[in-house]
Structure 1
Amino acid sequence: MNSINILVPDLPESVMDATVAVWHKKIGDTIQRNDILVEIETDKLMLEIPAQKSGILEEIIEKEGAVVVSKQILGRLIYVNYDENNKDNLITDVQKQVIQSQEDNNETSGVKNSNFIQENKDPNVSLNQNKMIDEQCVHQDKFLDQTEILSALTKDRNETRIPMTRLRKRIAERLVEVKQNTAMLTTFNEVNMKPIIELRKKYAASFEQRHGVKLGFMSFYVKAVFESLKKFPEINASIDGEEIVYYNYFDISIAVSTDRGLVTPVLRNVDTMSMIDIEKNIKLIAMRSRDGKLLAEELDGGNFTISNGGIFGSLMSTPIINPPQSAILGMHVIKDRPMVVDQQIVILPMMYLALSYDHRLIDGRNSIGFLNTVKSMLEEPLRLWLGI
């Protein structure tokens, strides 16, 4: 039998360390090759660490919450050499040894704890002082009824404290950085979504049947943003020190809410994508985001972000820029509202648009022009296919 170290994998260059998030196996468990043993969390993503060989989990060195670095030992796995005739018996024997060793360690720890009070009764302290300590314990019993009453009164007023995840902490840091380091403003507009809604109703079934993916709203948003970025290159740019960096490619980040927090995977080279490509890629990154399967390179970069708070019912918001980007577009819930069209009041499905931008780089004229272009593209969706 040989012990195999369970190691932290090589972390991405921009990541210094990680936190042990959850062990999926306990000491003594039988492990099959490629079973997920433990997950570690960086400020960008979760990394799953699989078993390199089959065996038995012998030791957990770094428990949940520990901070670790590349190639650090997390635990050990016993690799069991066996033939099929003695496989079950041998594995059972090894498990018993591992579990017994763990129980022995726990018993040793328990003895230490049970001796703690006696060990802390200083022999140099007088008998009277030690007696006072014992009497204090007796006096505490007199207040037992009061304690029970107080406990009953406050039992529904408990607090739960849990440490922030690394991702949540990093999100918080970045939000503060944006507030401190940019001149962020937000401009608003509204868009009539009726043309897109009717288009989806007419073609949604045939689109899904032919391409195997639903025709959602997001592909329209992405296409409208791409066409608008072409017309307003200042928004497809960022500030780097005293320089302005203009990007000649179009990588759009899509904000996705997960149990761990908000992540922004990137759709790269949107200018080369059809509506079908966009829908398929959005479906893929949404699934990978929620399952914690995103790779570090899928989160790096991005020139502009789209955030769709409307899926949660948000009517209007001021989205915060995703640095080092210079702008972010917030989409919101679609609501029927009375609108005036040709001097007549009609009910239309309307949606508010919000563009937050860094005023150091983007002037009000360009921000408003960009938002108006997005609006016109969405209200005339045929233009998205025609590229006009």
Structure 2
Amino acid sequence: MSRFDGYFLRQLLVLFGFFTLVLVGVFWITRSVSLFDRVISGGQSAMVFLEFTALSLPTLIRTVMPMAIFAASVYATNRLSRESELTVMLATGSSPWRLARPVLLFGLISGLMMGAISLYLRPASVLQLEQRQQEVAGDVTAQLLNEGEFLHPADGVTVYIGSIELDGTLNDVFLSDRRDPAEPVTYSGTRAFLVRGGAGLNLVMLDGMALRYDTGTRTMSTTLFQDVSYDISSLTRGGGMLKRSLQAIPTVDLILDRDSISEVEEYSVGEMIEELHQRFSWIAICIAVALMGFATLMLGGFSRFGLWPQILTAFTILVVLEGIRGVIAPVVIQRPELWWLLYCPAILGIAVSTAFLAVAGRPLARRKDPALAA
């Protein structure tokens, strides 16, 4: 590797780190506002919010990495062109193909990082996040501590709490238990407390009324009470393990154990094939967007005002490639044998970059073109 290659590669890596940090920060702030409100209002601590945020980072980083790679490639190439460094290298006899070598190496390095995230870190983080979400959803105490909302901690159970005081007193409590269709019961109390005993958690309601409806005789009985205890610990039982999402299934299982996954978790072969090759296609996309940002800007000549037309062209091509990816995914789900289509956007991007470098390497031919000269 020559000194220029090392210099260009360092520029690309530094800018890639900067743009990744900025984009992750912007997307994280956007998403964390709703997540923070949902977690905190659900009675959970700030540590749970931080844990959920950390587990969602691999997914967020995978989303922004191609944009950061493209931005780093475009920005570094534009700066080197504006400062005449690329012009000097071209004048010394270096071809655009030769100058693209550090960009290709940058794409390969970022592709390896993307591979580690897409193939391993993201599935593991999504699986852990789903397990923690299930544990939080099973925390009845946190579920009940939402004032002014009708909550459904279990099938057939509805709870409403008017307000919660600082000392933990629950005011204007309503509880409807319809799990026994033959005899649904409804409780209402002016005040209530959550009391944890040795056997579980109880909701103690004071100064209220219980309505019990007998569907057999079609009669309703009313009971006034000074205090009554209702066992809510049973609401956490019987949840079982939720089915994993496709994003949470390890890559090795998608390769070697598709039959078992399809039988137990009821995913179609097309869905599993699409998810598997989608993970690998992210690696190829990293290489394609790095070359695309460099090759498109090499079409322009030296200008103190920058290469904004070429930058706009590169961005447009990137949007088109992303649109193609969105169209291909449903096709692969319906017809798994067409899995190779998922790699077409990356292949098309590399092919367009190759064509642009070939055109950039023949400036005389471009000058002879009347349309380009005009």
TM-score, L = length of structure 1? 0.18
Structure showing the higher strand proportion among its residues: 1
Q: TM-score, normalised by structure 2?
A: 0.19
| Structure richer in helix, relative to its length | 2
